[in-house]
Amino acid sequence: MANILDEIFAAKRVELDTTRREAPLTEVKNKIGDQRDVIPITDAIKVPGEGSKIIAEIKRRTPFKGDLVEQFDPLAIARTYAESGATAISILTETRFFGGSLEHVEQASRLVLSIPLLRKDFIFDEYQVYESRACGADCFLLIATSLDKNQLRDLLELGKEIGLTALVETHHERDMEKAFHAGAEFLGINNRDLTTGKTDLDISRRLLKETRGMDNLLLVCESGIDSRSQIEEFEGLGMHAFLIGESLMKAQNISDKLQEFTVHGKTQPAG
């Protein structure tokens, strides 16, 4: 029986067929030259300084919890994130289930000039990698659960060829094996089971043990983080950055919540 993750990828394949007809790959590649220079996300995370490294996510809704915010203004949220200490911004671009759009990345890339943008979507095809660069993203997501090890490696390598870093998302030990086979060095551990929506921070606690001794890895904790104490715990266990969406999107004051997570409380200009 198909689960929600399978359903999303199936819908994405149908959508991609339409997208290819409307915008051939040659046209997409031609747009790449119009984008600003790539801001390496791994470099941004490695920059020393006070405060935790937060990849703040722009996400309108989820198939598990519905709408997360009443007044959804992705550009205003991007500006707030940039001014409130985010290390990077993740933008959901899947339309049907998450209410996102590639236009949100395109618009944000013209507004936020100082920090990297992660395109978060359900990517399985080379076209989508080129598309990510053409819309102004600096990084893109690959979900190991839904890709075989050769797909994962090929898409990861294509990203490198055009200057993009891939965040390889894992959820269990099989995913970790795929990621290591593909040569991934920017690794996310997603505490949310994308087939059920259930979140369990013990996923990170368990999978971090698989990375011991691998000093080349840059590790990102994804989903389920809603307090400063959790960030401090996982930093102590070896996490380098935290991808946080729902807690920020549902906060009464996004800026205050983000600064609570980073704790430095300093701001920087959006441009």
232 is catalytic: no
* 6 CB neighbour count, 10 Å cutoff: 13
> Of 12, 53, 59, 178, which is the active-site residue?
59
59 is catalytic: yes
223 is catalytic: yes
Q: Specify whether the CB–CB gap between 199 and 224 falls below 8 A.
A: yes
> Of 84, 109, 204, 223, which is the active-site residue?
223
* 123 CB neighbour count, 10 Å cutoff: 27
12 is catalytic: no
169 is catalytic: yes
190 is catalytic: yes
- Taking alpha carbons only, the member of 83, 85, 100, 76 closest to residue 55 is 85
- The Cα 20–Cα 140 span in angstroms is 19
Tally the C-alpha atoms within 13 A of residue 86's C-alpha that lie toward its C-beta: 33
> Of 222, 246, 247, 257, which is the active-site residue?
222
> Of 190, 191, 204, 247, which is the active-site residue?
190
Give the residue ranges of DSSP H helices in the chain: 4-22, 25-32, 41-46, 74-83, 102-111, 126-134, 149-161, 173-182, 202-207, 228-237, 246-249, 254-262
> Of 12, 120, 178, 257, which is the active-site residue?
120
Q: Specify whether the CB–CB gap between 220 and 179 falls below 8 A.
A: no
Which position has the token pair 């979140």?
199
> Of 94, 106, 131, 169, which is the active-site residue?
169
> Of 57, 106, 131, 246, which is the active-site residue?
57
250 is catalytic: no
Hey, which residues are catalytic here?
A: 57, 59, 120, 169, 190, 222-223
